[in-house]
Amino acid sequence: MRPMLLGVAAAAAAVLIAPRPAAAQQADVPALIQLVQEQPAGMDRATWKDRRRDAARKLGASGDKRAVPVLIELVETETFDIIGEIAIEGLGNLGDAAAIEPLQRVAADPARDRSQRDLAKKALARLGAKPDDGVGSAG
């Protein structure tokens, strides 16, 4: 019975000392931003694109406002890659009002994929804003 108790105690200790995901991600925000913005030397483009998408996901879940401008830039420049959608969702998660106008532009842009427009509308709802609050409406 004693070995079983040790196993349970070890598992409980591991849970208690494991870092919280948001805290761990927040500490990595500068490195994640750098990875999104610049392809590391020696890393092939396909690998970088995968890691860049993962970094954008982590930034969107980090709760760190330093991620907002980077994600806005992705939303504005990455119109055909899935990373644009990842950034849209991340901006909705981060809850920063600076994201409202870029998200409204996406929601109103008929040149964007429907999935991106729909995600932008959902992100705006999370931010307490409407897709059509004065952006993209021609009188």
| pLDDT for 106 | 97
Homologous superfamily, domain 21-126? Leucine-rich Repeat Variant (1.25.10.10)
Q: Which residue has the higher pLDDT, 122 or 135?
A: 122
| pLDDT for 22 | 53
54: left (phi over 0), alpha (psi -120 to 50) or beta: alpha
Ordered by start, the domain boundaries in the chain are 21-126
pLDDT digits (tens, 9 = 90+) for 4-51: 545 544 444 444 444 445 554 566 999 999 999 999 999 999 999 999
- Chain position carrying tokens 């879940």: 61
Inter-CA distances, 11 with 17, 38, 123, Å = 10, 39, 38
Q: Specify whether the CB–CB gap between 52 and 36 falls below 8 A.
A: yes
**First CA to last CA distance, the chain:** 77
